Structure 1
Amino acid sequence: MDKIVIEGMRPLSGTVKISGAKNAVLPIMTAALIPSGISRIKRVPKLRDTYTMIKLLEIVGANVVFNGNTLEIDSTNVDNPEAPYDLVKTMRASFYILGPLIARFGRVKVSMPGGCAWGPRPVDFHLKGLKRLGARLTLKEGYILAEAEQLQGNEIRLEFPSVGATGNLAMAAATANGTTVIYNAAREPEIVQLCEFLNKMGANISGIGSETLVIDGVNRLHPTDIKVIPDRIETGTFLIAGALLGGITVKDIEIDHLDTVLGKLKDVGCKISIGESSITLEPPDKIKPVDMTTAVYPGFPTDLQAQWVALMSLADGSSTIKDIVYHDRFSHIPELARLGANIQVNHNTAFVRGVDSLVGAPVMSTDIRASASLIIAGLAASGETEVSRVYHIDRGYERIEEKFRHLGANISREHG
């Protein structure tokens, strides 16, 4: 099993190019199944999850070509609306296939999702919404069978602005009969781009980027092309590392997606310079302790909570980090403690008392973002840190060790 080996306390400098957003490309890939024909997606990150989704698309009958960072999906011969357990259990985003396939075939069979080890992410919001659109649902042997001769537009009020449910229901409603209104919809940039992609295919969605999506169903969609937005979570990860280890520039980014994160980094003491599609960060002499509470967009992303904890573990004072999106997303805390961090957790809140230094040790990643926090901490620690189970990091970061090495880090991957 691969591991990442870090010799810490090497200063970072230089420029890093940000990849396309994992959380944008996965639903876009499934949306390409709704029409028949060839869609092309550019700026696709080469991630473990990307390849898992490609396998799933091929299982349902699509022909997929991945060349460079461009993905070509030919959905002409899609004829098997079923997502098997063996794939869905490894990646919760596989559940995105539900909306597109019921939209196209009126029938879909999908395994209950798996994915990251931490926390429940209920699919109830997806299923309740599909019922509102007239789908008949059956749960048997771990699979959900959804059927509808023709989905019917309706009002859907989400109990929580779930990104996954908003995306799935928007895809299902795009070709439903009549108008669908989704209240309390997710506003994340990844959902904005998905809706823009659907509109480019011929859907009629308004209110994009707001809490209320209005979807006037159309008879059919057509294939189209799109370029994936930059990954705001990867951007934030590198900026947080820069706050600890040296001035860096991140380029090919969307600055508007990062307002809350940049505000917090300024509170820490970082100097931020904004370019047209780049950000240059200069770290402070001392990290100021800054409390943080995660929130749905445009709040501070839960996907950067673990990295923020790593930063605060070396702050000059104490801070409190609360995750109100996923209450038990703290599997990185015991591993950070192995490096010398002083952190206590109570329910959904981490109490961090900054220490003067961290010391390298073997640690184990438990999910995508926990892996990133351990790499950041290892880069800032003295001595050697080994991060095992790095298949988690490969699910969400493209060549992360190469990008850090380009910035001056002593980091490598050892194959096992």
Structure 2
Amino acid sequence: MSEHFLVTGGNRLEGEVVVGGAKNSVLKLMAAALLAEGTTVVTNCPDILDVPLMAEVLRGLGCEVELEGSEVRITTPAEPKYRADFDAVKQFRASVCVLGPLVARCRRAVVALPGGDAIGSRPLDMHQSGLRLLGARSEIEHGCVVAEADDLHGANIRLVFPSVGATENILMAAVLARGETVIDNAAREPEIVDLCNMLNQMGAKVSGGGSTTLTIQGVRKLEPTTHRVIGDRIVAATWGVAASMTRGDVRVRGVNHKHLGLVLDKLRLAGAEVTPEVDGFRVIQRERPKAINFATLPYPGFPTDLQPMAIGLAAVADGTSMITENVFESRFRFVEEMIRLGADARTDGHHAVIRGVPVLSSAPVWSSDIRAGAGLVLAGLVADGVTEVHDIFHIDRGYPRFVENLRGLGGVIERVSTE
């Protein structure tokens, strides 16, 4: 059986939506549980497909994992297994985040090269070079990342790009290394800060979270902890953009609005009234959005994960927008699907020029990744007729209760199963 969405356009989104824990944080926090023997509890976990997938990866490494509501309990043995096999890892990219913890705990790791979204090349060179500087040997062998270390020691590591994944893996390996590690040009995302906070709760000595330089004083042992995942800023921003595209009025709760400073500023430039609140923000768009330019950059820049939503907004805005993708080269595959929906768009290298039209036209479209899928649904909300969105399993990997939340705001969407 396969499933697709039928999205009926023309409704203004209104109401309140509560955001769960961040997908881009929870999976790394679950992996961090490998660093300490005993039971670690992660709360405010989103109800998305990737959480049980990560649970299967951890079970394959010898952990006991219990999922109950928004809570995950991970009991890590004294001697975890060090091999994350292909069947468990192939389904999603974030599975590679077990590499650093396994090298730290077991002094060796064999992790199958991960699968995930089709958004371009995301090599593991920086992950491997960082581990090598910490004293590990690391190669790609038979479709797996293989790493071994007789001992791990502190090092000065400068990333050529502030990669989130490389920062996380090197950080989690360094917390149990001997001596001091400094990671320069580290990723600054709020999800990195969340991981640093959890590691410190476990007894690590990490400073500089949220800055370009992380300093880690290695310790001999970590202890299990209980930690609450931060709110998902990408999901929150998706609902904010949806409000702007549909000329709606949506209050988003469960997220720190400070994590979305530039995104909310862009919505203001598009003509929305944006009000920060204690546990979120409110977006009201009274007229047709105005055309604005977007350029994706590492945090605190505009997130590449929101590029499809930016294109969707530009597609119905008044005027011409330019979208520049500086992070993942294949994300503009989304533009081809938007053209099916009647968007006036063209691409040139890592630029897309979008001339807004008043209303898009419904058509069958296909998701290539999590964010593209959500972006296509948003586009369907401002198209005439009924839009079919296929390969929606991607959306289920990143957006909890997507249909229920959208219907709660007044959107018309139906999940359809077919042979």
Q: Which residue in the other structure is 1:84 paired with? A: 85
Secondary structure of the equivalent of 1:280?
Answer: strand
CA distance in 1, matches of 2:389, 2:244: 21
> Would the aligned equivalents of 1:38 and 1:75 in 2 still touch at CA under 8 Å?
yes
Matches within 5 A, 1:380-399: 380-399=382-401
SS at match of 2:51: helix
Instruction: Answer whether contact 2:121 2:329 (CA < 8 A) is retained.
Output: no
Distance in 2, Cα, partners of 1:56 & 1:63: 11
Distance 2:408 2:87 in 1: 36
Q: Which structure 2 segments of 5+ residues have no match?
A: none
Displacement, 1:233? Answer: 0.3
* Number of residue-to-residue matches in the alignment: 416
Which residue pairs with 1:270 in the alignment?
272
Matched with 1:190 is: 191
- The superposition leaves residues 274-296 of structure 1 with CA deviations (integer Å, 9 ceiling, x where unpaired) of 22112111104121100010111
Superposed displacement of residue 78, structure 1: 5.2
Q: Is the 8 A contact 1:328 1:347 kept in 2?
A: no
* Rounded Cα–Cα distance in structure 1 between residues aligned with 2:387 and 2:68: 35
Deviation of residue 328 (structure 1)? 2.5
SS at 1:186 equivalent: coil
Q: For the Cα contact (< 8 Å) 1:5–1:386, is it kept in 2? A: yes
Q: Matched residue of 1:415: which SS? A: strand
Per the alignment, residue 285 of structure 1 pairs with: 287
User: Cα deviations across residues 31-88 of structure 1 (Å, max 9, x unaligned)?
Assistant: 0011100010101011111111011000001000010100000002653211112222
Is the aligned partner of 1:56 residue 2:57? yes
1:248 aligns with 2:246: no
Aligned to 2:230: 229
TM-score w.r.t. length of structure 1: 0.99
Judged with a 3 Å threshold, the aligned counterparts in structure 2 of structure 1 residues 78 and 382 are, in CA distance, closer, same or farther, namely farther
> How many Å separate the matches in 2 of 1:250 and 1:25?
20
1:344 matches 2:346: yes
Range with greater deviation from structure 2 (333-342 or 76-85): 76-85
Q: Residue type matched to 1:225 in 2?
A: T
Specify the SS of the correspondent of 2:115.
coil
Give me the whole-angstrom Cα distance separating, in 2, the residues matched to 1:17 and 1:383: 28
Partner of 2:169: 168
| Coordinate RMSD, CA, aligned | 0.9
Query: Counterparts of 1:191-210 in structure 2 under 5 Å?
Result: 191-210=192-211
1:298 Cα offset (Å):
0.5
Q: In the alignment, what sits opposite 2:299?
A: 297
CA contact (8 A) 1:33 1:78 kept: no
Amino acid at match of 2:222: L
Q: Which amino acid aligns with 2:306?
A: L
Deviations 1:319-340 (A, max 9, x none): 1000111122111111111111
Provide the TM-score with structure 2 as the length reference: 0.98
Q: CA deviation at 1:357?
A: 1.0
* Further displaced range: 76-85 or 257-266: 76-85
The residue aligned with 2:409 is: 407
In 2, Cα distance between the equivalents of 1:349 and 1:75? 46
Q: Which moved more, 1:5-14 or 1:164-173?
A: 5-14
Q: Which residue identity does 1:68 align to in structure 2?
A: G
Contact 1:60-1:78 within 8 A present in 2 as well: no
More deviation in 228-237 or 137-146? 137-146
Deviation, structure 1 residue 113: 2.0
Structure 1, gaps ≥5 residues long: none
Q: List structure 1 segments (4+ residues) > 6 angstroms apart after TM superposition.
A: none
Q: Distance in 2 between matches of 1:139 and 1:281?
A: 47
1:321 corresponds to: 323
Q: Matched residue of 2:34: which SS?
A: coil
Distance 2:100 2:221 in 1: 14
Secondary structure of the corresponding residue to residue 405 of structure 1: helix
Partner-residue secondary structure (3-state), 2:415: strand
In 2, the alpha carbon distance for the partners of 1:140 and 1:323 equals 32
SS in 1 for 2:361: coil
Give the SS at the match of 1:372. helix
